[in-house]
Structure 1
Amino acid sequence: MFVLGILSSFAAVAAMCWLLFNLAVFALPFFVGLHAGIWVYGTGAGWLGAILVGGFAAGLTLAIGQALIILVRPLWARFVITLIFVVPASTPP
């Protein structure tokens, strides 16, 4: 029973690390989509327009980021692109 508790603790820590790194990738698209949606709502487009434009902006940001990671060859440039995606997740609110 003691071994089962240790193994479940390792599994929980691994799951939290996976969640942290996975959410770090989606932080920048989320913030871009959120701010685009707020801006569109402020222009008078309504809730539906804000949701559609925010979702499109978030998806486009994620797609551009993934395409850049695939297409850019120098390692330092990939590192810069990765930092651009990770920094919004690591800054305090």
Structure 2
Amino acid sequence: MTVAATPLGPEIHRRLADALSPTALEVVNDSHHHTGHLGDDGTGESHWTVTVESPAFVGLNRVARQRLVNQALADLLSSRIHALAIRARAPGEGHGPL
């Protein structure tokens, strides 16, 4: 599979869905806020926020949760994603709607 040939938003969503079986998942492209900044590669797909709720996060601290997300997106983080904000929670943790 050639990662560069895939639109990044759906690819991020698919990978997180496959890896974490989330009960809720939101992938937001924030690249337009960073146009012309360091890390803007001109693709319009360099800066992202993911909000994910998954049973895989039960009992894990924030760092362990972020590691699971980073593992699912490892090759994208090294090649196509310049910045990734992660909001990760377990089901039932009350941080408002996604």
Q: Shorter-normalised TM-score: what interval? A: 0.3 to 0.5
Structure with greater helix share of residues: 1
Larger Cα-atom Rg: 1
Structure with greater strand share of residues: 2
